[in-house]
Amino acid sequence: MKLQVSKITPEPAVWHVHTRLDRLPRLTETAGPQTATLDTDLNVRLRGDSIVVQGRLTLTLTLPCTRCLDEVPVEVDTPFEDILVPARQNTGSGELQLSQADLNVSFFEGDFIDLTELAEEQILLALEDQVHCREDCRGLCPRCGKNLNREECGCAAESSGHPFAGMQDLLKT
């Protein structure tokens, strides 16, 4: 979905964004292939030379648990506010960014703005670093790689206590 800059007015207009998440390359790279669809209405208006985009992103992603790698549904529900400033105003002095430090300010060039790309950026910002399938996920055995939520592997019983004991011996030599 591309916004045509010359058609944006100070009166808010609603733009509908509808895209399959697997069409978003950066999200797919970060979060793996997704099956859900992004479906949202964004309010777009002109304020001075800048374009204000506001809305809310609500979607469900599938992310791997950082401990056991099982896939976990993760709800994303985040407000979306972007101020798009013409790139010619980016003088490099930093004043503009500082005065609007609490807002998402980005620059645009030309007559078209890709709303899907903006939404992708917001989803990436909202992604949690630590996804766990459950609070007490036991993760994978560092030795044999078995999922310890599902089975005991016996490696812990064999080891001399410290999980990296063997590695420390290696480092000494």
Q: Which residues of this protein are in contact with Zn ion, per CB under 5 A? A: 65, 67-68, 133, 137, 141, 143-144, 153, 155
CB-count burial class (<10 Å; 0-12, 13-18, 19+) for 70: middle
**In whole angstroms, how close is the CB of 61 to Zn ion at the nearest point?**
16
How far is 150 from 153, CA to CA, in rounded Å? 10
In angstroms, how far is CA 91 from the centroid of its own chain? 29
Nearer CB in complex with Zn ion: 21/67: 67
**In whole angstroms, how close is the CB of 7 to Zn ion at the nearest point?**
47
How far is 118 from 138, CA to CA, in rounded Å? 37
Nearer CB in complex with Zn ion: 27/68: 68
- The answer to whether the beta carbons of residues 63 and 71 sit under 8 Å apart is yes
Only one residue has tokens 């560092």, namely: 142
**In whole angstroms, how close is the CB of 161 to Zn ion at the nearest point?**
15
Nearer CB in complex with Zn ion: 79/145: 145
Nearer CB in complex with Zn ion: 67/122: 67
**In whole angstroms, how close is the CB of 28 to Zn ion at the nearest point?**
22
